[in-house]
Structure 1
Amino acid sequence: MERHPHKQALRQALRKNGKRTERPARSWAADVGPGLATIGSDNDPSGIATYTLAGAWYRFDLLWVCVLTYPSMVALQLISARVASITSKGLTDNMREHYAPVFFYFAVARFLLANTFNIAVDILAMGTAARAVMGGSVALLSLLCGGASLILQWCVPYARYARVIQWLTLGMFAYVGVILLLHVPWHTVAIRAFIPRIVWTKEYTTMMLALFGTTVSPYLLFSQAEQEVEERQEHASSKPSAGSDQELRKLRRDTLLRTALSNAAAIAIMIASAAAFQFSHHAPGESVALERVLEPLAHGFAPQVLALALLGSALLALPPLAGSAAQAAASSFDWQHGEKRNTRIAALLLVITAIGAAVAITLAMIGIDPVIALYWSALVNGMTITPVLVLLVLLSSKREAVGDLVAHWSLRVLCWLTTIAAGAALIAHSVLEFF
């Protein structure tokens, strides 16, 4: 989620005999530039399924979520990185220091639960995708895929294997091909992209929450903050000072590009799905065959093309999902930065991923529809994101946290807009659910 490429593996440079050597990545931050890695890691299987369902159920009516949240997503990422850069601490460390324990532990619990479930459904999607390619048991294939992800995270620097895995996500460009082949009412697309059309039903507000959950992707905000701390510790002598014009310009440029790539992919999936299912009726809540969207372009190979995209995006997204949860847990124990903390975080990452794999196998064995499970994951993120966003925006304006370099009022306004919108969707959903 939801969105920028991450640098996803705890890169610790060791100096031996005067030479700098890289240790195998055992966590979540590696240096990957904008491109395929951005599209894949930010739009994991949960995101692909949710955007597809949004297009199938509501056609173009929810495009505005991905378009209008773009400025706010850029602002949230800038604030996350800024707070981490100035304080040299991650967001969970800052929350523990500046908020009452009840708020801090809520944020940690939210990460552990939401991210572990997201990991589980992404591994389930990998098992389902693998079955489309080679056949077999989804439960067994989910076990193998989860194990493969663990081995890659432990043995191979993320940057190295991401350069290979990212090519699997080329299948996402098939959605653009579908858009070019099918008739798309661009006038309607333009209107729906900028003018919200809201239907006050439980199903519509549920989908809104799911889209907020997968588009805003709170785990990306926290992982980006941790990455900023990592970079400052590793390159203290060469990195520009916190808040310098040079650093802020680079941060704005990278964030604008990364978020644009991610949101463009999400919009393409929604438009392609709406066009592919325009003559079919799928009631909200009804599962759809995700590969059907790609059939106009890939024909009989649509399941395999989708499978490769799901496998690639999941392998790119699992490390930051597990890593951000592990970092949050580490902050709750107040572990100091250093070799000992990194070793413990690596162990936590393995435990969280293993638990996610166990949940995925359980879901496969009891016959849960993978598409609906992926949608549920986005919904869980959407239903728990508002309090976390409130804490983040308030933190950026605390002078005791960031001194005189408080976030600009325009950034705070943009962040509050998304926070209020997500909160309003949650309140509307709750009202429609119980009344």
Structure 2
Amino acid sequence: MPTSAASVGAARTRGVWRRLGAGLVTGAADDDPSGVATYSQVGTQLGYGMLWTTVATVPLMIGIQTICAHIARVTGMGLTANLVRILPRGVVVGLVALLVVNNVVNLAADIGAMGDALAMLTGGHPRYLALLCATVSLLLEVFIPFRQYAPILKLLTMSLLAYVLTACVVGIPWRDLLAHWRPAQWNHQTLVALTAVFGTTVSPYLFFWQAAQEVETERADPDARSLLSAPEDAPEEFRRIRVDTDLGMIYSNAVAFFIMLTAAVVLHGAGVTSIETSADAARALDPLGGHLASTLFTLGIVGTGMLAVPVLAGSAAYALSEWLGQEGSLESTVHQARTFYAILAVATALGTLLTFLPVAPFRLLFWSAVINGVVAVPLMGAIMLAASSSALMGPFVLKGSLHVVGWIATGVMALVALGLFL
């Protein structure tokens, strides 16, 4: 019997979904609760004036994340394991230390935001609900092997659609947007916001996570080998990485656009000029945008938090365990990778502990994004050196348009960070 067009379309969709993995999860994890708070705060403060950043950062994200994936797939090792081969060990430990500290702060902001969001939905105590979220996330990472955990993370990426639905519910005045949009005036506030947006969008923890997931995917396939060992697989693998990363980063920034736009239309439009957390944005939406919009936004915080927490803790564990020369993998058992899981647990525990301290949550998450933007510059430079090293990459040394885009992304991040200080 002839195959219907609908069944052919469904088969193609399933085929594309199967090809998505590290890039999609990494991109979606970028819209974590602290990122949501940053986008919401910028939209609340500056209205439409910073919407252009969600478009401008797309090629930067695609470029640097694709390069990270290439390094891992070519060598069969994570970023830290590659960096220690070309850089002084002290430089690498400095970069890894900054990553770990910032990830713990990010974890605190995200776990706290999930607790606040669940408290809004259930009426429970926000700190105990935060502890519950962190515990569930940690148990999933520890006791579910990577090959079974990866589909869960991929499914959680769909939670980002809650923010798109929120924008649909509140109603976006597209004609007004096109008629009145103009870039924000340049001043210190704008530069801080710009660095925060770029920092939360082009985030160092994403570099390590996507590279690690490429290594995990290779290890999970008994027939797969590093491209240095199996160069004949390179064309197909690079195509897969390109599709996966392009779609993941475009999806991430499209969602960021709708978050910032919703805050600009509803909160900024109503005269609200400041919020402190993503939960504050959800509360403010209730009387201004309606209960449905607030509920969708709140559900998005919980969903994206459950995706981002393992990425933040996992990227710290991958980076630090590789620097220590220890085996680290979500596919391994606790007995096989004790150091890796210990770092994972400690990072999650410290992040959770910070939520119980009297620390202003907005200060944590917003300045964490700013620090991200500054730390990303030397790290991106190191990544570009690794990708350009023939000793590491062999015949797959970075060249062509991807090489140019990678250095442009590094230069743009440097200018943004420099602008903040000047």
TM-score, reference length from structure 2: 0.83
Does the 8 Å CA contact 2:64/2:409 hold for their aligned counterparts? no
Q: SS of the residue aligned with 2:49?
A: coil
1:235 is aligned to 221
Q: Amino acid of the residue matched to residue 265 of structure 2?
A: A
1:195-249 CA-to-partner distances (Å, cap 9, x unmatched) read: xx46442221111111111111221221111122222233252467356211111
Provide the aligned C-alpha RMSD in A: 3.0
How far apart, CA to CA, are the structure 2 residues paired with 1:63 and 1:334?
42
Alpha-carbon shift at residue 329 of structure 1 (Å): 0.8
How far apart, CA to CA, are the structure 2 residues paired with 1:259 and 1:170?
14
Does the 8 Å CA contact 2:112/2:130 hold for their aligned counterparts? yes
Q: Amino acid of the residue matched to residue 225 of structure 1?
A: A
| Residue in structure 1 matching 2:264, options 264, 267, 274 | 274
- Percent of aligned pairs with the same amino acid: 32
| Residue in structure 1 matching 2:344, options 349, 367, 371 | 349
2:125 is aligned to 137
1:315 is aligned to 306
2:69 is aligned to 81
How far apart, CA to CA, are the structure 2 residues paired with 1:176 and 1:184?
15
Q: SS of the residue aligned with 2:211?
A: helix
1:20 is aligned to none
Point out where structure 2 has 5 or more consecutive residues left out of the alignment.
1-17
> Are the structure 2 counterparts of residues 188 and 90 from structure 1 closer, same or farther at C-alpha, using a change threshold of 3 Å?
farther
How far apart, CA to CA, are the structure 2 residues paired with 1:146 and 1:351?
12
1:66-110 CA-to-partner distances (Å, cap 9, x unmatched) read: 212212211112111111122221111111111012320121112
Alpha-carbon shift at residue 328 of structure 1 (Å): 0.9
Does the 8 Å CA contact 2:153/2:307 hold for their aligned counterparts? yes
How far apart, CA to CA, are the structure 2 residues paired with 1:81 and 1:160?
19
How far apart, CA to CA, are the structure 2 residues paired with 1:387 and 1:203?
24
Please state if 1:263 is matched with 2:249.
no
Q: Amino acid of the residue matched to residue 29 of structure 2?
A: S
Alpha-carbon shift at residue 147 of structure 1 (Å): 2.0
| Residue in structure 1 matching 2:79, options 91, 94, 98 | 91
Please state if 1:64 is matched with 2:55.
no
1:9 is aligned to none
Q: SS of the residue aligned with 2:48?
A: coil
| Residue in structure 2 matching 1:123, options 111, 136, 143 | 111
Alpha-carbon shift at residue 145 of structure 1 (Å): 2.4
> Are the structure 2 counterparts of residues 323 and 188 from structure 1 closer, same or farther at C-alpha, using a change threshold of 3 Å?
farther
How far apart, CA to CA, are the structure 2 residues paired with 1:163 and 1:78?
18
2:320 is aligned to 329
How far apart, CA to CA, are the structure 1 residues paired with 2:355 and 2:184?
34
Alpha-carbon shift at residue 182 of structure 1 (Å): 3.7
Does the 8 Å CA contact 2:23/2:245 hold for their aligned counterparts? no
1:253 is aligned to 243
Q: Amino acid of the residue matched to residue 391 of structure 2?
A: E
Alpha-carbon shift at residue 175 of structure 1 (Å): 3.2
How far apart, CA to CA, are the structure 1 residues paired with 2:23 and 2:414?
32
How far apart, CA to CA, are the structure 1 residues paired with 2:271 and 2:399?
46
Does the 8 Å CA contact 2:27/2:252 hold for their aligned counterparts? yes
> Are the structure 2 counterparts of residues 418 and 341 from structure 1 closer, same or farther at C-alpha, using a change threshold of 3 Å?
farther
Point out where structure 1 has 5 or more consecutive residues left out of the alignment.
1-29
Q: Amino acid of the residue matched to residue 405 of structure 1?
A: F
How far apart, CA to CA, are the structure 1 residues paired with 2:32 and 2:282?
15
1:31-430 equivalences under 5 Å are 33=21, 40-156=28-144, 157-159=148-150, 161-162=152-153, 165=156, 168-178=159-169, 180-182=171-173, 184-187=175-178, 197=183, 199-238=185-224, 241-242=230-231, 244-283=234-273, 289-291=280-282, 294-295=285-286, 299-336=290-327, 342-362=337-357, 366=358, 368=360, 370-430=361-421
Does the 8 Å CA contact 1:179/1:272 hold for their aligned counterparts? yes
Does the 8 Å CA contact 2:23/2:210 hold for their aligned counterparts? no
How far apart, CA to CA, are the structure 2 residues paired with 1:135 and 1:164?
27
Q: SS of the residue aligned with 1:98?
A: coil
Bigger mean CA deviation after superposition, 198-207 or 64-73: 198-207
Alpha-carbon shift at residue 151 of structure 1 (Å): 2.4
> Are the structure 2 counterparts of residues 238 and 153 from structure 1 closer, same or farther at C-alpha, using a change threshold of 3 Å?
closer
Q: Amino acid of the residue matched to residue 54 of structure 1?
A: V
> Are the structure 2 counterparts of residues 169 and 35 from structure 1 closer, same or farther at C-alpha, using a change threshold of 3 Å?
farther
Does the 8 Å CA contact 1:177/1:297 hold for their aligned counterparts? no
> Are the structure 2 counterparts of residues 425 and 188 from structure 1 closer, same or farther at C-alpha, using a change threshold of 3 Å?
farther
Q: Give the structure with the larger helix fraction.
A: 2
Q: SS of the residue aligned with 2:395?
A: coil
Q: Amino acid of the residue matched to residue 172 of structure 1?
A: Y
Q: Amino acid of the residue matched to residue 223 of structure 2?
A: S
Does the 8 Å CA contact 1:55/1:270 hold for their aligned counterparts? yes
Q: SS of the residue aligned with 1:174?
A: helix
> Are the structure 2 counterparts of residues 188 and 119 from structure 1 closer, same or farther at C-alpha, using a change threshold of 3 Å?
farther
How far apart, CA to CA, are the structure 1 residues paired with 2:266 and 2:77?
46
Does the 8 Å CA contact 1:184/1:275 hold for their aligned counterparts? no
Q: Amino acid of the residue matched to residue 91 of structure 1?
A: L
Alpha-carbon shift at residue 430 of structure 1 (Å): 1.5
Q: SS of the residue aligned with 2:396?
A: coil
